Amino acid sequence: MQVNTVDVPDPGRGKPYIAIVAGNARQRSILARCLTSFYQFAEYPDVAQAVAGCRTHVPLLALVSEQLPPGGGFDLVRRFRLDPGLASIPIVVLAGKDDKVTRDGALQCGADSLLVEPFSRSALVTAVSGLLNRGVERKWKTLRPLQRQALSDTLLLFNGISNVISEGKPIPYQGVSDACQPLVEAVANDDFKEMLDGVKDHDNYSFAHSMRVATYLSLFGCNLRLPKEEQILLASGGLLHDIGKMSIPHQVLNKPGRLNEAERAVMEGHVTASVAYLEHCQDLPKGIITIAAQHHEKVDGTGYPRGLAGSKLNRLARIACIVDVFTALTDRRVYKPPIEAEAALKFMVDEMDSQLDAKLLGLFRQMLLDASGDIHRQMERSA
């Protein structure tokens, strides 16, 4: 079997596994280069090897060329749909022409999407990401109403932000706070844990990270007994804190290896970009802009972009920094698997004690330990 030896499927590496099935070696190579920043992948040159390989390592999605020996890509799709272990895999068919015969063939064999060559890398990534997210979002329907609404409302808002920015329009705070209200209510009702699980595998990393930051900020605010309006402000700040990353080139944002000096400068520029945009949104509370501006600052002055230290750091920013660090450590990224919560907290306490507000970190750690204890007690009662 011809399987890419660099990106052999390995669940521990954190990247979803995509099957690339094409008879043409050059086409497989081009597709692999397009996807390597985002996913693991394995390459299969024909129908038989694809079926055998995908049964051994079931992918989250398959890219299937219409030109595939011996019977063609449509034949492979039909075989997948008749195989109980492979039937539910989302499939994108790659075709050389766009005509009624091809479209009908893709539909009739059971393909989920059709891409006609030549297509751009962004079109390919969008098609793959959209199908992966469709499955994740379908699972949200099984959640309780408040959690389901929190996820759907914030995703709808988040997906619309890039359009609003490109049109040069401000984000109205009322829309942000309305989207965050179900999230805050779910947190106040201690009804948010499945919501965090529901978003962790979403293929839009920026949304997943921002949603998790918003949830933990809301939880922190609730535990600090802040008024509900401030909890909504914290959640809103979490949802918007990284919007400047929408301007970061995907090859930098999703680079699987270490960033070089120039790339790091581009990445760190997302803070300035976030603030520059948010300052034009006249009705946004100042606290939201502060969270975006200072969530990478550290109390010892080693953070960025301004190297603020000590009393120059706003309390909201100190909270946001702790939550952002914890969430980044426990996120799945293209360059690392997620770290368990307890290991992340230990790292923050042992290795970052001079960078983070010690009192707030202690409160955050205790909050998560208490929440973990509640989960264990619920499991014991139900056993």
Quote the pTM value: 0.79
Give the N- to C-terminal CA distance of the chain in Å, as an integer: 45
Contacting residues for 164 by C-beta, under 8 A, at least 6 apart: 170, 171
Q: Which amino acid is at 374?
A: D
> What is the enclosing helix (H) or strand (E) of 92?
strand 91-95
Domains, the chain, ordered by start: 11-132 (3.40.50.2300), 143-382 (1.10.3210.10)
pLDDT, tens digit only, all 383 positions of the chain = 333 433 445 544 445 689 999 999 999 989 988 887 667 788 999 999 999 999 998 998 999 999 999 989 999 999 999 999 999 999 999 999 999 999 999 999 999 999 999 988 778 888 888 898 888 898 899 999 999 999 999 999 988 887 788 788 899 999 999 999 999 999 999 999 999 988 988 888 889 999 999 999 999 999 999 999 999 999 999 999 999 998 887 778 877 678 999 999 999 999 999 999 999 998 999 999 999 999 999 999 999 999 999 999 989 889 999 999 999 999 877 667 789 999 999 999 999 989 999 999 999 999 998 876 554 443 333 33
Question: How many other CB atoms are found less than 10 A from the CB of residue 311?
Answer: 7
Q: Which amino acid is at 86?
A: L
Contacting residues for 32 by C-beta, under 8 A, at least 6 apart: 4, 7, 20, 41, 43
Q: Which of 40, 50, 132, 43 is nearest to 83 (CA)?
A: 50
Q: Determine the Cα–Cα distance for residues 124 and 102; give it in Å rounded to an integer.
A: 18
Contacting residues for 233 by C-beta, under 8 A, at least 6 apart: 177, 285, 287, 288
149-152 long-range contacts, CB within 8 A, separation 24+: 149/182, 150/182, 150/183, 150/185, 150/186, 150/192, 150/195, 151/195, 151/198, 151/199, 151/211
